[in-house]
Structure formats: structure tokens, C-alpha cells
């Protein structure tokens, strides 16, 4: 599988990770921690991604590979559930005459053919009835900017989210519970229904969707240099056009941005 990738840190460090195997591409977004966690989110995402990459091509299904990888990562990093980092996981695997797509957490896979496009996204976190999310977005829209109150609201939001994490009726994400992997969204497509694909973390996808350009089929044909240029333009727009998050309310001025483009799945 030919894959082109680009990643851009939102700040001093980057918690996004990309792994490419013979048959798969894996994109992870280590969640920013607004309260202390035992291990850096980027370290967690990197360790988890490597463990998935070692297993996914031979596993009977992607969820099995992610299950085993979460278990191995938790043991390797000596994690406990009370202060563990977390990460989204998206995977595209092409084998024989079909493709498997997998999404756990709010990163996305965009895919399609010359005639139609589709999207696989886990929206369960965004659907939670948490007032803190609406509060920080309203404050940003009103022009409050990224001040101390904003950071306090985000910390409160993460505390509220934790109550719903990896429980029935809540949302599911890679952390310490291997069973969460079985709750990921999966799609299996015959070769004729998927020609191209793009995997993107929300730091990139939200801005691309906001601008409605370039289109995902176009991005799928980008090489590494074009993808890097795209991420640079998105980052610059945040600086120049929306430094205080009024046009596109978001938790940080700059989130980590990662895109993996697959021009031909088969």
C-alpha cells in the first residue's frame, strides 16, 4: 500500500503518530491532558501504534489487534486507569479483495471512489451532554480567547468526560481497558467500493471541513510535500484569521495535525 503522510505539531510537542505496514496504515491522536497523567500522551500513542502495527496485518480483525496492543501498552508503560493518557485509533487495512476500516475515538477516515465519498467517524464523545463544551465554545465565539478561564473550563470538561470514558452509554477510546477496542466502529468494503482513502486527526480534519476545501478525493492524491504544505496553510490560517477561536471554536489555537493519504487502496 502506497501512503503519503504529513504531521505538524500544534505546540512544542506532537502527540499524533502514523504507522504504515505492508497492508495497513494506522493514525493515532494522543489526547491533550489538561490535568496530569502518568505518561506523556505522545509516548502512549507511539507505544500503542507500534504495538498495533506489529499485529494488525496478521490479526483476524483490526479490533483483535487493537485489543492486544492496548493490553501490551498498558503493561509496558505500567499504566493505571486513574491517571492514564488516552488516544484515538484509526486503521485502514487492505487485504485480498476487501478493505477493513476501523475508528475508535474522534479521528476520521474519508474514503470513496471516483463517483462517491463517505466518512467513518466515531462521534460518541461529541454527543455527550456536557455543558462545559458549550461553555468554552460560547466564550470563544464571544471573543474571550484562550485565557485562564478557558483552560479551567477544559480541565473541568476532561473531568466530566472521564466519568463517561469506556463505559456503556458513554464513549470509548484507547486507554488501559482492552475491551474498549471491541467498541470501535468498523466497516468492511469490497475493492470496488473503495479506491482512495484519507486518515486525519481532528486537528487537521476540522479545519479542512470548515473551509470545505480541498476536497478529500483531491487530498488523497497529494504527496508528502503537498500534504505538508496543506498543514502549514491550516496552521497559518489559525494564526492570521482566527487566533482567538472565534470563527472556529476549538480547545487550542493550534492542535496537532496529521494526514495520511492513500491514492490507491488496491
What is the CATH T-level fold of the domain 4-128+166-262, as seen in this structure?
Phosphatase 2c; domain 1 (3.60.40)
Domain ranges for the chain, please list them.
4-128+166-262
Residue 68, Ramachandran bin (φ over 0: left; ψ between -120 and 50: alpha; else beta):
alpha
Q: Tell me the pLDDT tens digit for each residue of 232-266.
A: 999 999 999 999 999 999 999 999 999 999 999 99
Q: What is the chain's percent helix, strand, coil content, to nearest 5?
A: 35, 25, 40
- pLDDT tens-digit series, residues 136-193: 999 999 999 999 999 999 999 999 999 999 999 999 999 999 999 999 999 999 999 9
Which contiguous run of DSSP H or E holds residue 65? helix 62-77
Report phi then psi at 6, rounded to 5: -155, 145
Query: From CA 147, how far away is CA 49, in angstroms rounded?
Result: 33
What distances in angstroms separate CA 25 from CA 19, 74, 147, one per listed residue? Answer: 6, 22, 37
CA dist 211 and 226 (Å) reads 17
CA 21 and chain centroid, separation: 18
Q: In the prediction, which pLDDT does 81 show? A: 79
- Is the model's pLDDT at 32 over the cut of 90? no
Task: Kindly provide the b/e burial profile for residues 155-175, where b requires at least 16 CB atoms within 10 angstroms of the residue's own CB.
Answer: ebbbeebbebbbeeebbbbbb
pLDDT of residue 38: 86
Q: Residue 129: pLDDT above 90?
A: yes
Return the pLDDT at 83: 81
Average pLDDT for residues 205-228, to the nearest whole number? 97
Q: What pLDDT, on the 0 to 100 scale, is given for residue 37? A: 86
Residue 34 has pLDDT above 80, yes or no: no
Q: Do residues 264 and 3 lie in contact, with contact meaning Cβ atoms separated by under 8 Å? A: no
CA distance 168 to 187: 21
Amino acid at each position: 500500500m502506497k501512503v503519503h503522510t504529513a504531521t505538524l505539531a500544534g505546540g512544542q510537542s506532537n502527540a499524533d503518530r502514523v504507522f504504515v505496514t505492508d497492508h495497513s496504515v494506522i493514525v493515532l491522536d494522543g489526547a491533550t491532558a489538561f490535568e496530569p497523567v502518568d505518561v506523556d500522551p505522545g509516548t502512549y500513542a507511539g507505544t500503542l501504534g507500534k504495538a498495533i502495527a506489529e499485529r494488525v496485518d496478521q490479526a483476524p480483525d483490526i479490533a483483535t489487534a487493537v485489543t492486544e496492543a492496548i493490553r501490551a501498552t498498558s503493561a509496558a508503560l505500567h499504566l493505571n486507569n486513574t491517571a492514564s493518557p488516552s488516544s484515538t485509533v484509526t486503521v485502514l487495512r487492505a487485504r485480498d479483495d476487501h478493505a477493513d476500516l476501523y475508528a475508535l475515538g474522534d479521528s476520521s477516515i474519508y474514503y470513496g471512489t471516483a463517483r462517491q465519498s463517505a466518512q467513518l467517524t466515531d462521534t460518541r464523545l461529541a454527543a455527550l451532554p456536557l455543558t462545559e463544551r458549550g461553555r468554552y465554545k460560547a466564550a470563544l465565539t464571544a471573543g474571550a480567547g484562550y485565557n485562564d478561564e478557558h483552560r479551567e473550563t477544559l480541565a473541568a470538561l476532561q473531568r466530566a468526560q472521564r466519568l463517561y470514558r469506556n463505559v456503556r452509554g458513554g464513549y470509548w477510546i484507547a486507554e488501559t481497558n482492552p475491551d474498549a477496542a471491541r467498541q470501535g466502529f468498523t466497516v468492511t468494503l469490497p475493492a470496488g467500493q473503495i479506491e482512495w482513502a484519507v486518515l486525519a486527526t481532528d486537528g487537521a480534519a476540522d479545519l479542512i471541513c470548515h473551509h470545505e476545501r480541498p476536497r478529500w478525493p483531491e487530498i488523497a492524491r497529494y504527496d508528502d510535500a503537498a500534504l505538508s504544505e496543506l498543514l502549514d496553510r491550516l496552521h497559518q490560517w489559525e494564526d492570521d484569521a482566527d487566533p482567538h477561536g472565534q470563527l472556529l471554536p476549538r480547545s487550542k489555537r493550534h492542535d496537532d495535525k496529521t494526514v495520511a493519504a492513500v491514492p490507491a487502496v488496491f
